[in-house]
Amino acid sequence: MNVTDRFLDFVKFDTQSDELTNMTPSSPGQMEFAKYLKSVLDGMGLEDVELDSNGYLFATLPANMEKPVPTVGFIAHIDTSPDMSGRHVSPRIVKNYDGGPITLNEKEQIVLSPEEFPELHNYMGEDLIVTDGTTLLGADDKAGVAEIITAVAYLQSHPEIKHGKIRIGFNPDEEIGLGAHKFDVEKFGCEFAYTMDGGAVGELEYENFNGASAKVTIKGRNVHPGYAKHKMVNSIRVANNFIAMLPRWETPEHTEGYEGFYHLVGIEGGVEQTVLSYIIRDHDRARFESRKKEIEHLCRKTNMEFPGCCTVEIKDQYYNMREKIEPVMHVIEIAEQAMRDSGIEPRVQPIRGGTDGAQLSFKGLPCPNIFAGGENFHGRYEYVPVSSMEKAVDVIVNICRIVADR
């Protein structure tokens, strides 16, 4: 079975994560998919195939050489984003893409257009896997899952390619920031690993945002509006003032590269109480800490006008893995060589987000991120070129070979 067939098989599973359940995995579909993957790995004859009660699946491809070499791991997450439905995914392959608009859903008039998504021009003449416009596709990160399994199957069928011990790890709940929380790094037993969870071909990432969440709770006082003068405190209006005090241009829609932001992701409330949910992001640790302090400062400022009205709870989510990767830059050099050996020019760039690899790096497993090939993740316009997945498979195989050669 090739990588495309595996991918099309895997996207049938509804594996949206859910941050409200407080369970691991956070949704039943993830465990269903993990059990299926276990049966696939068992059927391949891999060793140490273990699925724990939290949905973490590990397996081993034994070394086929006697010389001791480092154990390398490849990791992908089995959940898909809660931003859009992943139920009843209906993919199709657009053969030999001609460069024009792709009608995903004629009835709903949903069109994937190069005018809105100019990256499509990079894939002229290639086969693209797209959605029907009613769900996301799931290339984030089922493409990574399919690529890892396909690469391991290739190594099994080509024993002339010498490699050391290879570990596979599939985990739940990456999309809600919990993918690495219960990942047993010691049990995984690798000197270093790679997450196959990036975007377009060539992406290689070892810098990511420092990330935190902030929950701002504003208490109001409700009084009959006809008799409310000097009595009512409308928490919605106070919340609006809080929102307006944050820098207007330091938001996701106005930033790029290494620029950080405050992102308001949710508002819930009424006159009595309003809750603002933010995420805070910055590559620079000092600026990251400053952003958290600014949220706290604005809370105190709000309380000066409305005493006792505002409280804030800030939780760190992950940190920039760069400080953990720089001491072991040979891990990046191996990936760069593997890409060049596959005819790909590496594009080292910062992640404007986070990965399981960031948290794993801080747990003692250096774990940069490699492209999985997809575009427009988390929405109806997601697609993945077949050739991009095939190139990712080649890179995995080359990494295993290079580690053995070194």
Catalytic residues: 79, 174
CA angle 252, 256, 262 (to 5 degrees): 30
Concatenating the DSSP letter of every residue in 307-359 gives: TT-EEEEEEEEE--THHHHGGGTHHHHHHHHHHHHTT---EE--BSS--HHHH
Nearest Cα to 149, choosing from 238, 59, 211?
Answer: 59
Q: Look at residue 199 and give its three-state secondary structure.
A: coil
Distance CA 345, CA 286 (A): 32
CA max distance for the chain:
85
Sequence-ordered list of residues with C-beta below 8 angstroms from that of 109, at least 6 positions apart, any chain: none
Rounded Cα distance, 339 and 367, in Å: 17
Dist. CA 236–CA 306, nearest whole Å: 13
Is the N-terminal amide bond of 25 cis, ω within 30° of 0? yes
